[in-house]
Structure 1
Amino acid sequence: MTKLFVIFLGGGLGSMFRYLVSKLINEQFVWGFPLGTFTVNVLGCFFIGLILASLEKYESLEAEWGLMLATGFCGGFTTFSTFALENNTLLQQKAYGLFVAYVLASLILGVVSVFFGFWLIKKI
């Protein structure tokens, strides 16, 4: 039951932060590019790299921290369903260039961000 609670807690916090970050970014930038979702997804990839590398490096950290932060927080903070919906919208609007840019940038920067998170923790 403790594992489910820490995942629940992290997921709730991640969802709140996703809402706040997306709202802030989307209010500042009015483009056709879904910058709010893009930002939280790339940041979430970076965070999960930091979190998992920290758990690997510092064996004294309890597994519940990984569940709360990686599974819960990152799971609540990032959003694949909104990413898919926004891509569907771009296709319906025939914004093919933005669609391709969004998909490729999300995939490439997401993977690079996880790598950078791991790299950063190993350098510390």
Structure 2
Amino acid sequence: MNYVVVAFFAFFGGILRYLLGVELPIFHLFPIGTLTANYIGCFLFSWLVKQIMVDREINGRLILGVGTGFCGGLTTFSSFALDAVQLLQKQAYLVAFLYLFASIVGGLFFVWLGEAIVKKKVSE
């Protein structure tokens, strides 16, 4: 049954990732769609799944579906890595560095932000 739950939610995460990739422009070779999908996924996984759903003891299958399924389908290491390699192959070294830096630092920032928002609300 867990496979079905993960697959169901992954469908929606994957669709959102696809739409972001199609709708957001590539700016000077910079893959904004992949970056945005990863930022949203990092934030949602930290804020919604790890902080709110677990703290409120939401059903484990729903947490599995939203976390592993939706957030896993939305975020994409393979697209991130492929985008970076393609930038390097095009000898767009500065853009590749900026993309790698923005992806790693930005992803960590959005995980931190999700946790910080929950911690602030708890302390109020």
Question: TM-score scaled by structure 1?
Answer: 0.90
Q: Which residue of 1 aligns with 2:53?
A: 55
**Regions of 4+ moved over 3 Å:** none
Aligned-residue sequence identity (percent) comes to: 36
How far 1:66 sits from its partner (Å)?
A: 1.2
Identify the residue that residue 8 of structure 2 maps to in structure 1. Answer: 9
Contact 1:11 1:76 in 2 (8 A): yes
Aligned partners of 1:66 and 1:103: how far apart in 2? Answer: 29
**What letter corresponds to residue 93 of structure 2 in structure 1?**
Y
2:40 is matched with 43
Note the 1:85-124 alignment, pairs <5 A: 85-124=82-121
Aligned alpha-carbon RMSD (Å) = 1.2
Q: Which runs of 5+ in 1 are unaligned?
A: none
TM normalised by structure 2 equals: 0.90
2:23 equivalent in structure 1: 24
Aligned residues: 120
What are structure 2's unaligned runs of at least 5 residues?
none
- C-alpha displacement of 1:56: 3.0
Deviations 1:50-88 (A, max 9, x none): 1211123212x1111210111000111111111111111
